[in-house]
Amino acid sequence: MPLQRLITATLLAINTITFAQNKQPMSKLIQSEYQFANKQYKYLMKGIPRDKMPQSYNASSNQVTTRDITWWCSGFYPGSLWMIYEQTSDPEIKKEAERTLHLIETNKTFTRDHDLGFMMFNSFGNAYRITKDPLYKEIILTSAESLSTRFHPGMQAILSWDKMADFKGPVIIDNMMNLEMLVWASQNGGDKKLKEIAIAHANTTIKNHFRPDYSSYHVIDYDINTGQVLGKKTFQGYSDSSAWARGQGWALYGYTMMYRFTKDEKYLNQARNIAKFILNNPTLPKDKIPYWDFNDPKIPDVPRDASAGAIMASALLELGQYVKTDERKNYVDNARQMLISLSGAQYHAKLGENGGFILMHSTGGLPLHSEIDVPLIYADYYYMEALKRYKDWYL
């Protein structure tokens, strides 16, 4: 056997052994985490008013922070419940999941911002995937139509927020996450235009949102009629030119997801390049849980963002499905380290503590003095999704 082929065969064998060695510990970790989530969310349920959704936890007052149902995070709690139910078959969890779906159903006609994907696909999407209840599907299709009304042909993008003091036509990188509902709906009985809108938005975002190193601006401000770029700014990051960590996670996840639906190589390559920026960044800590912004000059004396780590882990696990062995191993190894870190004492709550949330140390909007170093409902959601993906694809 030629030397190069021998080396390649040896490396493949080592990779196979490494994966096999990690299967058993990860299998136990995932099983344990879902059992923990099942108990912890029953504790979380006790602190929630019947007409609100959990968002975070205030340790000083020992109270769960809640939001109205039109808050952009309203889908994460029911979505998390459905994933827990899927793994545990606990009827009490299912009952709470169904109750919260009923509570947010009216959001299917909500058109005041871009967040319907977060609100309705993470919730009803998981519910339909698990139960196949046709009512849930119809709600998703209606929600997708509502979201499509925010598409502006002149700028070939979905308007994230309506005109604000500092922005005339803001489009944020987070919006990539809401495209999933549009494409899914177009392939499951909805109008074909929904997929066309998602593709147009993804292409416009590639064109304008990214720097040469594949880091993403947070906000691109457009003239909604002409598509002219008026500014490249931030709302939640350290500066206009910085790489806000959760935004990089949204970008990685969004383009990986768009490749899943379209098999367009430019989306796969975009995701791979974003992954390189994240994983090779000199400020990414050894435990792989990023600081809230990759460019905060006060690193390491700044908050981490467990939510960004969970989003990145989930995205990397899917990206690993679309690449060859060595590259896949890199993504899966990094995602595994993120999950192991998040399951450890530094980031993981004890049963009955942390208001009932699973993860600690997320950062919502540091420049806004909002949700700094606290649990956040979407950190839990993407953590559980990443655990499920690891179980489904790599065990």
- Whether the pTM exceeds 0.75: the reply is yes
Write out the H or E segment, with its range, that includes residue 85.
helix 76-88
- Count the neighbouring beta carbons within 10 Å of the beta carbon of residue 350: 10
- Residue found by looking up tokens 């502006």 in the block: 152
For 191, phi then psi, to 5°, come to -65, 140
| Cα gap 307→30, rounded to integer Å | 18
The pLDDT profile of the chain, 395 residues, written as one tens digit per residue, is: 454 444 444 444 444 444 444 566 999 999 999 999 999 999 999 989 999 999 999 999 999 999 999 999 999 999 999 999 999 999 999 999 999 999 999 999 999 999 999 999 999 999 999 999 999 999 999 999 999 999 999 999 999 998 787 899 999 999 999 999 999 999 999 999 999 999 999 999 999 999 999 999 999 999 999 999 999 999 999 999 999 999 999 999 999 999 999 999 999 999 999 999 999 999 999 999 999 999 999 999 999 999 999 999 999 999 999 999 999 999 999 999 999 999 999 999 999 999 999 999 999 999 999 999 999 999 999 999 999 999 999 99
| Cα gap 195→179, rounded to integer Å | 8
- Of 249, 257, 325, 253, whose CA–CA distance to 9 is shortest? 325
Residues composing the chain: 395
| Cα gap 99→127, rounded to integer Å | 12
Q: SS3 for 326? A: helix
Is 221 in the active site?
A: no
CATH 1.50.10.10 fits 16-46+244-395, yes or no: yes
Q: SS3 for 376? A: coil
Contact yes or no for 378/314 (Cβ under 8 A)? no
Is 174 in the active site?
A: yes
Contact yes or no for 291/306 (Cβ under 8 A)? no
pLDDT at 163: 78
DSSP string, 269-299: HHHHHHHHHHHT-TTS-TT---BSBTT-TTT
* Residue 87 token pair: 């793994």
Residue among 68, 113, 115, 293 flagged as catalytic = 115
- Sheet with 170-172, strands from edge to edge, namely 170-172, 219-222, 229-233
Find the angle CA(58)-CA(81)-CA(129) to the nearest 5 degrees.
145
Residue among 174, 293, 305, 333 flagged as catalytic = 174
